Amino acid sequence: MKRIDIKDITFLIPIRLDSIVRLENLILSIDYLYKHFCCNIIVVEASNYDSLIANRLVSPKATYIHIEDFDNIFYRTKYINYLTQLSATKYIAIWDADIIISKEQIVQALHLLNEGVEVVFPYDGRFYDTSEILREIYINKRDIRIFKRNINKMFLRYGDDAVGGAIFLNKESYLYSGMENIDFYGWGPEDYERYLRWKKLGLKMSRVDGPLFHLSHERGSDSRMRSSIQAMSTNDEIRKLMNMTKEELLLDIEKRNERWNELVQDINQSE
């Protein structure tokens, strides 16, 4: 099967591998992309030491970078911004490490970017958790039709209007919009905040028909709120955004970019 050339986009995958299942999901997601596309994939793993396992398993299909990070909380927004700066293509895709989306949807998403859309969700909002059983069958068969045929057996984790998991972006527009909000530290509703921010800034957004499949895994400490204080802080960030004018938001982004420039220096020292 001939692979489709989409080298004008880079898939950005930030990870913290807290289980073998997470590692398996990463490999499955990368293998699916590599099977169907000639594309750029960058993986950044942030952890207290480099086991070398992930690097050996994903290379040469993806560029792997390990960042030494002793923080118990995975600062995902920080590492997505870092990945964005590492990318050298016109378009980027923020890609969770456990996502499978049909190749036709990916091609359509890239087509929409080429048509001038700035943000494309390569699925229609249906974010299906595959279940452990269907995930195991997929590991053996490596055929997305397994998921498509068994949609009625899956759980819609975020209803039918999810805005995370996989996003295609015009990189220039993403930079203009402030990238990820680094005030979101750890797990939280950063996907929703980002979507609201793009709407307020007037970015051109679109969706592609079809579902997203999320490979099931245990929900560790990086997949939930750490405390009520964290929950209050993230909710305050959403409320602040909703009450801003576009002009106030642009000023807020400018200030946050200054803090980001300081933060990225710490990452560079940890490589």
Task: Name the pTM for this structure.
Answer: 0.93
Summarize pLDDT for 82-126 with one digit per residue, the tens: 999 999 999 999 999 999 999 999 999 999 999 999 999 999 999
What is the domain range of residue 216? 4-270
Tell me: pLDDT of 271 over 80: no
Domain CATH number, residue 202: 3.90.550.10
pLDDT of residue 235: 79
DSSP code at position 182: T
Give the confidence band of 267 by pLDDT, cuts at 50, 70, 90. confident
Closest Cα partner for 13 from 38, 35, 30, 32? 30
Buried b (16+ CB within 10 A) or exposed e, 154-178: beeebeeebbbbbbbbbbebbbebb
In the predicted model, is pLDDT for residue 2 greater than 60?
A: yes
pLDDT digits (tens, 9 = 90+) for 10-36: 999 999 998 999 999 999 999 999 999
Report how many domains make up the chain. Answer: 1
Output Rg (C-alpha) for the chain, integer angstroms. 18
What integer pLDDT is reported at residue 224 of this predicted model? 55
Handedness of CA 86, 73, 15, 13 (dihedral sign): negative
pLDDT surpasses 60 at 221: no
The HSE-up count of residue 77 (CA atoms within 13 Å, CB side) is: 21
Q: What is the DSSP letter of 227?
A: -
Between 167 and 60, residue with greater pLDDT: 167
